[in-house]
Amino acid sequence: MKKNVLFVFLFITGLINGYAQAGTKRPADPEATPEARALYEWLWKSQKQGTMYGHQDDLMCGHTWWNEQGRSDTKETVGDYPAVVGFELGEIELGGDRSLDSVAFRDIRERVRWWHRQRGIITVSWHVVNPISSQWPGIKEPNGAGSAWDVSMLSADGLNAVRSILPGGSNHAMFNNWLERLARFFLSWRDDSGHLIPFIFRPWHEHSGNFFWWGQTRCRDDEYANLWRYTVDYLRAKGLHNILYAYNTDKVYSPEAYLKGYPGDDYIDMLSIDWYGSGDEFYRDVNIALQFTTALATEKHKLHALSECGPISTGLQDLLVNYESVYLLTWRHAPPRGSHSATHMLTDDEIRKLPADVREHYLQWLRQPRHEDYLKVMKQNKNYLFLKDIQKIK
């Protein structure tokens, strides 16, 4: 009798444990670190409570400052940091000490560690140089010659940069070196206990556009998917099981278009989309996109994000609250390229001296709602989460 009771007890306990495991959200990586699993489960919980506000390079630069510890345009506007901060690693593949935005990689690592201690969320983008034209002689330019945007010579059936870096391609060994540099940098992102810091990585973004060398018209969809899988497999093989991966497109108008080049559920933790714009047409189109991307996320048991957008108008804010999305992210504030000085605002006397048509245009620009105005509206909306809000979520 006692044996029967013990058997029933163990059987029921096994069922309960099985149900608990089935209900637990798991990252795509079967070897995900405890920290990555904890972040993933926490993101599901936060997604139910609201949408986090994110800002690219929020800790690195602002409209009028550069690399000042503790500063944040968001904090100076609303008294709180964003919940999500984005970091850019473009040109780390070249082995230098600064990104394509002239941000020192050592400073990025320091801010990542600090931000993790604040319990903030980290997302990473990577604008990789063109593996073909970056080797050509001549002066390289940010967003120009040799950059991720240098694509005019490329096509899926012609000069194909993606094909050149996949196994068997002429630039495959070079690409492995690039991934090695990226992996070494990620392996240096450790917390105070020496554990790898978990974060969201959004490589090969906006594939639906044709403005990057990995874009749709620049390679075939199967090549893009292979690039994704190769990148993830390489990083996992280096022991980087702390990364959550976000699949991403630019604007698309159907679920079929969104999934072109999708690398598979085993490689993806989050579905995300980038969409900039304003006005009635924008609201209509982004609403449709949010409908099918959030539906796909639900179907695939993935998180969702509006990973780049702007401006964050009240119309967009009102629209997004209808969907479960982990975060939205607006792009970086920065002084003009090549200058770390404050952006000059004209004085009243300088405005009066402008030609009449230029003066009117400038005054109209001054009257436009600013990002800071929209941000204050968002901060008052309980559906949007900033750093202090997410620090309360256990």
Q: Inform me whether the pLDDT recorded for 140 exceeds 90.
A: no
- Residue 353 pLDDT grade (very low, low, confident, very high; cuts 50, 70, 90): confident
- pLDDT at position 335: 63
User: pTM of the entire structure?
Assistant: 0.89
pLDDT tens for each residue of 243-285: 999 999 999 999 999 999 999 999 999 999 999 998 999 999 9
Dihedral angle, C-alpha 353, 355, 359, 360, nearest 10 °: 150
Query: Does residue 244 sit in helix, strand or coil?
Result: strand
- Residue 9 pLDDT grade (very low, low, confident, very high; cuts 50, 70, 90): very low
Quickly list H helices, the chain.
2-23, 34-49, 73-78, 105-117, 161-165, 172-187, 221-237, 255-258, 279-300, 314-320, 348-352, 356-367, 371-379, 387-390
Element (H, E) at 52: strand 51-56
Residues 6+ apart with CB under 8 A from 372: 73, 77
pLDDT tens for each residue of 201-222: 999 999 999 999 999 999 999 9
Q: Do residues 304 and 271 lie in contact, with contact meaning Cβ atoms separated by under 8 Å?
A: yes
Pairs from 179-182 (Cβ < 8 Å, separation ≥ 24)? 179/231, 179/234, 179/235, 180/238, 181/92, 181/93, 181/95, 182/89, 182/92, 182/93, 182/126, 182/235
pLDDT tens for each residue of 28-66: 999 999 999 999 999 999 999 999 999 999 999 998 899
Q: Inform me whether the pLDDT recorded for 300 exceeds 90.
A: yes
